[in-house]
A and B are shown apart, each in its own frame.
Chain A
Amino acid sequence: MSGPNNEYDPVQVTPLGAAEVEAMRDDALAAIAAASDLDALKHVRTEHAGDRSPLGLANREIGALPPAARKEVGARVGQARGAVNQAIAARQAELDTEAEERMLAEETVDVTLPWDRTPRGARHPITTGSERIADVFVAMGWEVAEGPLVEAEWLNFDALNLGPNHPARTMQDTFWTEPAENAIVLRTHTSPVQARTMLTREPPIYVVCPGRVFRTDEYDATHSPMFHQVEGLVVDEGITMAQLKGSLDHFAQAMFGEGIVTRFRPSYFPFTEPSAEVDLVCFVCRGQQPTMASCRTCRGEGWIEWGGCGVVNPRVLTACGVDASKYTGFAFGMGIDRTLMFRHGIADLRSFFEGDVRFTTAFGSEI
C-alpha cells in the first residue's frame, strides 16, 4: 500500500464500514487469545496491530476519506485498535507471569540441605549466667564490682573479721602462695572485692560482685578447686535485714520465676552478724505435694540451699573505713556454678571446666 491518500476516493471507503472494522478487530482478538506463548504473541502483534495489519492499513486510509466521513470512521478504527492493544497488553502480562512462574518452578531447591560450613560458637554458661545475675542488680541501680583473683591475705581474711587464728580460716581451705610471708593467697571468696569497694568508695554502696574463687577442694562431681560466686554488698544509712530479704527475694524471682521466695536460717559467717543461710523455694515443685515427694531438684525437701547472707559485721565496716555508727550494711553470696547446676539440671560440676564444646554450645550465647 502506498502513502496517505489525500485524494477523495469513494471506492476505497467501502471496506472501512462498521462491519469490516469489527471483523478486523475480532480477528485480532481471537488471534491474541490464541497466542500460547510470548513468541506467538509477538507474531500476533505484528499481524494484527502492526502498521501493515488490516487495522493499521485502515488507519492510514482514514486520511484519504472525505472530511465528513473521517470523524466517524476514525473513531471506529481507533476504538478497534485500542481494544486490540489492550488485549495484547493483557495477554502479555498473563504470559509474562506464566513464564516467570515456570522459571521459578524450575529453580526450586531442597531447602533442607544443611549449610553448616562454619561450626557455631558459643559463650560459656558461667559467663552468660554471671551477666544475667549482674543485670538483675544493675536494673535495680546497683553496680558491678570486680577484683583480682590472686589477692592480699589481709583483704581476703583480716579485713573481713577473719583473724589469723579464726577457726573459720580452717573451713576455707586456702591456696597460699610462696613465700608465705608475702601474704598473698588465691582468693577464697569474692568478699575481698567488698573490702576493696568499701576502702575506695563512700557509701551509699550498692554493688554486686560475680567472680572466680579458689579452695583446695578435690575435683569431683560437686567440688572443684576453682568455682564461681556472686556476692552483693549494700552499705547505706538504715539498712536492715528486711531489705536483705527483699533483695534476695527479687533476685530469686528474676532467676527462677514469679513466686519463688527465700527462707533464712541462722548461721555463722565472720563477716556478717547476724548471719543466715538462704534457701530458695524449689522452683520445680514449689514445695508443694504431691510433686515434692519425688522432686529430684530439691530431693523432696521443697527448699534448695542457695547461699549465705547477713548484716555486715561492724568490725568489717571499721576495718574498711566505713563509719559503723552511721552506716549499716548487708551482704550475701551464692555459688554461680551451683545455681546454674540446679537451674539447668547439670549433674557434674566438672562439665563447666572440661571445655567440651558440646556442653557449652548447648547453652547458646544467652542464658
Chain B
Amino acid sequence: MRAPVSWIREYVDLPDDVTTEALAARLTALGLKLEAIEHSGAGITGPLVIGRVLTLEPEPQKNGKTINWCSVDVGSANGTGEPQGIVCGAHNFAVGDLVVVVLPGGVLPGNFEISERKTYGHLSAGMICSAKELGLGDDHSGIIVLPAEAGAPGDDAFDYLHLRDDVIEFEINPDRAYALSLRGVAREAALAYDAPFRDPALRETPTPNDTGYPVVVDAPDGCPVFAARTVSGFNPAAPTPRWLARRVQLAGMRPISLAVDVTNYVMLELGQPIHGYDRDQLSGPIAVRRATDGESLTTLDGVVRTLSAEDLLITDDSGPIGLAGVMGGARTELSGTTTTILIEAAHFDPVTIFRAERRHKLPSEASKRFERGVDPTLPAVAAQRVAELLVEFGGGTIEPGFTLVGAAPPSRSVTAAVDLPARVTGMPIPASTTVAHLEAVGCSVSVEGETLTAAVPPWRPDLNDPFDLVEEVARIVGYEDIPSILPPAPAGRGLSRTQRLRRRIGHALAGVGYVEVINFPFVGKASFDALGLAEDDVLRRTVRIANPLSAEEPEYTTTLLPNLLRTAARNLSRGARGVALFETATVAFPSGAAAPILPVDRRPTDDELATLLAAVPDQPLFLGVVLAGERELPGWWGPGRDATWADAIEAVRTLGAELGVEVRVRTAERMPWHPGRCAQLFIGDKEFGHAGELHPKVCAAFGLPKRAAAAEIDLDFLMAAAPDVAPAPEFSTYPVAKEDVALIVADDVLAESVAETLREGAGELCEAVRLFDVYAGEQIGAGRKSLAFALRFRAPDRTLTESETAEARDAAVALAAVRHGAIQRA
C-alpha cells in the first residue's frame, strides 16, 4: 500500500513538524510495516516554471526527424524577461499553449542538469518537459500542455503539478485489510499521534430507494451487499483533475480516464473496490449468482475464462458480465464513449474471492482487498462518493434511483477477561488502558466485573478472539515496553541419543577428510537413468511434486547419490584434484495413503492421529559418501593415491567403529556400482547399504573420473544398532605370541571369509587376525592368490609356550584348507 503523506494529512491533524520518516516509524511500531519511503519530486530542482509558446518553427533534419525551434515566454523567471529560445522534439502543442519549462540551472530526475547547449544549430536554453521527464507518469508521447487557467508565464510549476509529495509504502499484513486504504492508514496515524481523525466514510448519503437500476442477488452468501448508482450525461472526454490523477499515480496506479481514475481514487480512499459499467451496454437487470460449470466470460484483459460452479458472477440478460470482485467483463467496460455510468459498490465474501483469484490466477487491486475483508458498511457511501466525483469533474447528473440490496451484518462482539492483555504480555496494563485502547481502534467497550465486551467496528473483520484484542492493546501500549524475562524451564534431558550420534558421525567423517554438503532433494527420471537403475527399481517409486520448480526434477528423492555425484563433479570441474564428500539427509518413500484433514476445534483422537501419521511418507535418514580423483596428494613424501572402492567401504567401517557396531561386508551386484567392486553392508544379517566403485557408465553419466567410489547407507539403522552402553573389554597382560601365515587360495575366495575361518580355527587363544598382504603372480599360478595374515595369540592366565602357539596356528591353517582349499605357502 502506497500512501501519499499529503493525503494522510487530509484526514488527520498531524503536528506540522512530524517528518515522513518519523511518521513511518510510528506506523511501523503500530503494525504497518514500512517497505520504502519515496520523496517524489525530490530529484527535481527549479527553476521549473509555466511558459507560453510564442513562436514555433518546425525544422526538418537530415535524419528525418523534425524539431521545433520555439521561443517561450517565461515571464521574468529567466531574469531578463526576454523570450527563451528552446529546441523541442515534441509535436503535440501549438503557439499560445501553456507548457512546463525547466530553465538552465534546473535538475530533472536522474541528476539530469539543464544548461544552455548548442543543438540542431541553435542555442537551446532549457527544456519543455513531458510527464515522464518529471516523474509524473509513463507518458512520453508528448510534452505537458497545461490548461489556460493553469497560470501565467513565469509562475512556479511545482505546486500546480503537485510534483513534491512523500509516499510511504507499507507492507500490509493480512489481518490489517483496513489499512489498504488511506482511510485506514490515516486512522492508524491518528492513533500514533493521538490526533483527531476525520473519517472520509462519514458523509451524507441519500436513502436508497427502489427506482435504481434493478439488481437481483441470487447468492447472498457470496454477495451480502450490493449498491448501485447511475450517472448520466457524463462527458467521457473530460480530463481528470491534476491533483486526483497525481494521487492515484503516487498510490501506485496508472491514471487512465476520469471515470476509471475516480473509481480507483475512491477505492484508495475508502478501501471499497468499485466497478463501473457502461450502462448502455447492459441489457436487463443485473443478477449476482454462482456460475455453472463450463460457462465462460471474456474479462476486460481480453482473456476468455472458463468458469467453475464456485465462481461468483455479475450477469445481465446477455450472460456473465463480470467475475465478481476480481475483474469485469470486456463487453460492458467503461470506454471512451461512455456517457451513462452504472457504479457498482458491493461487498463480496472473502473466501469466494480468494478462491476465484487463485483459480483464475487473477490477483487485482479489488480481489486483494475483498479476500482480506472490506468494511461491509461502505458500499452505499462509496457509490455515492464515486457518483459525486464523476459529476463534479465530468458533468452530467446523478440519477435519483439508488439501489441497495442486502445489508451489512450486525456488529460482532468479543468477550475477554479485562486483565488478559496484562497476563499475556507481561506488561502492567490497567483495565482503564485496555478499555481506552480498544475504543481507540474503534471498538465500543463495556466492562462488567472482570469481563469486558468489545463490539468490533465493521472495518475490523480480523478481531474475533480475546487474543486478537490483546494484540490491539499491546501494540498501542507499545511492544518496546515489553520487559525481558527468561522463562523458568524445567530441567531438560539434553540432546537425544540420535542427536548426539549424528553429531559424532559428522565429526568422524570430517576427521578423516570428508566435506559435508547439502543438496536439494529434487530428482527426475534422468537422475535414476544416470544411476543405471532398472525401470522397476524400488528407488524409482518416489513422492512426486505437483508443482516442481523444474519440470525435469519433479520427484522427491529416494537416494542421496544423484545430487551428491553431481556436486562431486562440480567440484572437480572447478579445479579440485580430488573430492571426498558426505551428506546426511532424509529421503522419502511414498506411503500411498491419504492424510486426512482433521478437525481443528479439538485434539484429534489417537486413531485419527495414527491414521494421519501413517500416511506421511517413511523418511529414513541416509548417509551418502562420494570420492573421486586424488584421495591422497603426491608430495615430497612420494606419489599420491586415487580414491578407490576400498575408501568408500572404509568410510562406513569408520562409522561402525565410531558407534561400536561391527559392519560386515559381502559381495553384491547393485547399480550404480561396478558389478565386481560392490559391497553389500550388513549389521548382523540385516543389510543397511552399499559401497564400492561406481560403474564406469555411471561415472561417465555424471562426468566423474573412472574409479570414483560411493557409499549409501541407512543411518537410522546404523544408529539404532549402536550399543546403548558399551561393555568394558577384558584383555590379558601376558606376552603376545605372533605367527604369520601365507595361504594360497583361488581368486574368488573372499579374504573376509578366510580371516573368519582362521579366527575360528585358531580358537580362543587367538587374539587377532589381520590380513597384511595380498599377492598374485607367476609363483602362485593363474587363478590363485596368496593371502598373508598376521595372527596374534595370548592366554588370559599364562605365557603361551611355542608348541601351544604352533598348535593353534596349525589348527587355523588346517581349517582354512578344509573350508577354502587353502594351501600354506612355504
Q: Give the interface of A toward B (CB within 8 A).
A: 113-124, 126-127, 131, 134, 138, 140-144, 146, 148-155, 158-159, 161, 163-165, 167-168, 170-171, 175-178, 180-184, 186, 199, 204, 206, 212, 216, 218-219, 225-226, 234, 236, 238-243, 245-247, 249-250, 261, 263-268, 273-277, 311, 313-315, 318-321, 328, 352-357, 360-361, 365
Name 17 extra pairs, CB < 8 A, besides A119-B580, A124-B517, A273-B465: A117-B637, A121-B516, A123-B506, A123-B507, A141-B491, A153-B595, A167-B371, A176-B546, A178-B546, A225-B522, A240-B423, A314-B467, A315-B600, A318-B601, A319-B599, A355-B581, A357-B571
Q: Once the chains bind, are A119 and B543 in contact (CB under 8 Å)?
A: no
Closest beta carbon of chain B to A232's beta carbon, Å:
10
Interface segment among B68-76, B478-486, B689-697: the answer is B478-486
B178 within 8 A of A: no
Q: Once the chains bind, are A268 and B517 in contact (CB under 8 Å)?
A: no
What are the residues of chain B within 8 A of A183 when measuring CB–CB? 594-597, 615
Chain A, Cβ-Cβ closest to B640: A117
Chain B, Cβ-Cβ closest to A135: B495
- Encoded as 1 (CB less than 8 Å from any A CB) or 0, chain B from 316 to 337 comes to 0000000000000000000000
Q: Bound complex: CA of A140 vs CA of B489, how far in Å?
A: 7
Chain A, Cβ-Cβ closest to B31: A266
Q: Once the chains bind, are A277 and B33 in contact (CB under 8 Å)?
A: yes
Q: Bound complex: CA of A216 vs CA of B549, how far in Å?
A: 7
What are the residues of chain B within 8 A of A180 when measuring CB–CB? 546
Closest beta carbon of chain B to A352's beta carbon, Å:
6
* In the complex, chain B residues 538-594 whose Cβ is within 8 Å of any chain A Cβ: 543-549, 556, 567, 570-571, 574, 576, 578-581, 585-586, 588, 593-594
> Are A241 and B424 CB-contacts (below 8 A) given A117-B637, A314-B467?
yes
Q: Once the chains bind, are B514 and A121 in contact (CB under 8 Å)?
A: yes
- Encoded as 1 (CB less than 8 Å from any A CB) or 0, chain B from 505 to 527 comes to 01101111111111111100000
Q: Once the chains bind, are A356 and B570 in contact (CB under 8 Å)?
A: yes
Closest beta carbon of chain A to B553's beta carbon, Å:
10
What are the residues of chain B within 8 A of A159 when measuring CB–CB? 598, 600
Residue of A144, A161, A176, A184 with highest tally of chain B CB at under 10 A:
A184
B355 within 8 A of A: yes
Chain A, Cβ-Cβ closest to B621: A146
Q: Once the chains bind, are B547 and A216 in contact (CB under 8 Å)?
A: yes
B409 within 8 A of A: no
Q: Once the chains bind, are A152 and B595 in contact (CB under 8 Å)?
A: yes
The 8 closest A-B pairs by CB, nearest first: A242-B426, A321-B603, A240-B426, A266-B31, A274-B471, A268-B173, A355-B567, A355-B517
B175 within 8 A of A: yes
What are the residues of chain B within 8 A of A143 when measuring CB–CB? 492-494, 496
Q: Once the chains bind, are B470 and A311 in contact (CB under 8 Å)?
A: yes
What are the residues of chain A within 8 A of B175 when measuring CB–CB? 268
> Are A250 and B600 CB-contacts (below 8 A) given A150-B556, A176-B546, A184-B617?
no
Q: Once the chains bind, are B424 and A152 in contact (CB under 8 Å)?
A: no
Q: Bound complex: CA of A275 vs CA of B471, how far in Å?
A: 7
Interface segment among B57-65, B340-348, B628-636: the answer is B628-636
Q: Once the chains bind, are A154 and B595 in contact (CB under 8 Å)?
A: yes
Q: Give the interface of B toward A (CB within 8 A).
A: 28-31, 33, 173-176, 350-351, 354-355, 358, 371-372, 423-427, 465-468, 470-471, 474-475, 479-480, 482-487, 489-496, 499, 503, 506-507, 509-522, 543-549, 556, 567, 570-571, 574, 576, 578-581, 585-586, 588, 593-604, 609, 612-613, 615-617, 619, 631-633, 635-637, 640
Q: Once the chains bind, are A264 and B482 in contact (CB under 8 Å)?
A: yes
Q: Bound complex: CA of A320 vs CA of B612, how far in Å?
A: 13
Q: Once the chains bind, are B485 and A245 in contact (CB under 8 Å)?
A: yes
Closest beta carbon of chain B to A338's beta carbon, Å:
15
Q: Once the chains bind, are A241 and B597 in contact (CB under 8 Å)?
A: no
> Are A204 and B490 CB-contacts (below 8 A) given A151-B616, A184-B617, A265-B33?
yes
What are the residues of chain A within 8 A of B595 when measuring CB–CB? 152-154, 182-184
Q: Once the chains bind, are B515 and A360 in contact (CB under 8 Å)?
A: yes
What are the residues of chain B within 8 A of A127 when measuring CB–CB? 506, 516, 518
Q: Once the chains bind, are B425 and A241 in contact (CB under 8 Å)?
A: yes
What are the residues of chain A within 8 A of B467 when measuring CB–CB? 273-274, 311, 313-314
**A314 interface neighbour in B33, B465, B518, B632, Cβ under 8 Å:** B465
Q: Once the chains bind, are A184 and B516 in contact (CB under 8 Å)?
A: no
What are the residues of chain B within 8 A of A116 when measuring CB–CB? 633, 635
What are the residues of chain B within 8 A of A113 when measuring CB–CB? 636
What are the residues of chain A within 8 A of B616 when measuring CB–CB? 148, 150-152, 184
| 16 contacts across the A-B interface (CB closer than 8 A) | A115-B635, A141-B489, A149-B521, A153-B595, A167-B174, A167-B350, A175-B548, A177-B546, A206-B490, A240-B424, A241-B482, A242-B485, A274-B424, A274-B470, A274-B471, A355-B571
What are the residues of chain B within 8 A of A118 when measuring CB–CB? 512-513, 631-633
Q: Bound complex: CA of A231 vs CA of B604, how far in Å?
A: 23
**B479 interface neighbour in A120, A158, A265, A321, Cβ under 8 Å:** A265
Closest beta carbon of chain B to A111's beta carbon, Å:
13
Q: Once the chains bind, are A150 and B617 in contact (CB under 8 Å)?
A: yes
Q: Once the chains bind, are B513 and A119 in contact (CB under 8 Å)?
A: yes
> Are A121 and B596 CB-contacts (below 8 A) given A355-B518, A357-B579?
no
Closest beta carbon of chain B to A312's beta carbon, Å:
9
What are the residues of chain A within 8 A of B636 when measuring CB–CB? 113-114
**A319 interface neighbour in B28, B427, B586, B603, Cβ under 8 Å:** B603
**B600 interface neighbour in A114, A117, A138, A161, Cβ under 8 Å:** A161
What are the residues of chain A within 8 A of B602 when measuring CB–CB? 318-319, 321
What are the residues of chain B within 8 A of A356 when measuring CB–CB? 570-571, 574
Closest beta carbon of chain B to A130's beta carbon, Å:
10
> Are A243 and B485 CB-contacts (below 8 A) given A142-B492, A178-B544?
yes
Q: Once the chains bind, are B490 and A141 in contact (CB under 8 Å)?
A: yes
What are the residues of chain A within 8 A of B571 when measuring CB–CB? 355-357
Q: Bound complex: CA of A355 vs CA of B571, how far in Å?
A: 8
What are the residues of chain A within 8 A of B494 when measuring CB–CB? 138, 143
What are the residues of chain B within 8 A of A275 when measuring CB–CB? 471
Q: Bound complex: CA of A116 vs CA of B631, how far in Å?
A: 11
Closest beta carbon of chain B to A150's beta carbon, Å:
5
Chain A, Cβ-Cβ closest to B516: A124
Q: Once the chains bind, are B516 and A123 in contact (CB under 8 Å)?
A: yes
Q: Once the chains bind, are A167 and B354 in contact (CB under 8 Å)?
A: yes
Chain A, Cβ-Cβ closest to B351: A165
What are the residues of chain B within 8 A of A171 when measuring CB–CB? 174
